[in-house]
Amino acid sequence: MHVATGLILVLGMFFSSAAGALYVWVDGGAKPSEWNAKQNWSVGGSQPSSGPVNGSDVQLTGTGSNGPTNQNIANLSLNTLRFDSTCDTFTVAGNAFTLTNSGTALTVDAGASALGISCHIALGNSQSWSIGTGRTFTVSGNITGSAKSLTKTGTGTLVLTGTNSYSGGTTISDGTLKGNVTSLQGNITVNGALIFDQGTNATYSSALSGNGTFTKTGEGKLKLTGDSGFSGTTVVSQGKLQVTGSLAHSVITIESGGMV
Give the model's pLDDT for residue 19.
64
Task: Give the percent of the chain with pLDDT over 70.
Answer: 87
Q: Are 204 and 224 in contact (CB under 8 A)?
A: yes
pLDDT band at 75 (very low <50, low <70, confident <90, very high): confident
pLDDT band at 2 (very low <50, low <70, confident <90, very high): very low
Q: Are 99 and 105 in contact (CB under 8 A)?
A: yes
Give the model's pLDDT for residue 91.
81
CB atoms under 10 Å from CB of 19, counted, come to: 15
Give the model's pLDDT for residue 18.
59
pLDDT band at 221 (very low <50, low <70, confident <90, very high): very high
The 3-class secondary structure across 186-228, one letter per residue, is CCEEECCEEEEECCCCEEECCCEECCCEEEEECCCEEEECCEC
Cβ partners under 8 Å of residue 55, min gap 6: 18, 19, 20, 77, 78, 79, 100
pLDDT band at 260 (very low <50, low <70, confident <90, very high): confident
CA dihedral (84, 192, 203, 140) in degrees, to 10, reads 0
Query: By three-state DSSP, how is residue 255 classified?
Result: strand
Which residue would you say has higher pLDDT here, 105 or 16? 105
Phi-psi label, residue 249: left if phi above 0, alpha if psi -120 to 50, beta otherwise: alpha
Core vs surface per residue 178-204: b (16+ CB within 10 A) or e: bbbbebbbbebbbbbbbbbbbeeeeeb
Q: Are 226 and 204 in contact (CB under 8 A)?
A: yes
- Chain-wide mean pLDDT for the chain? 87
Give the model's pLDDT for residue 175.
99
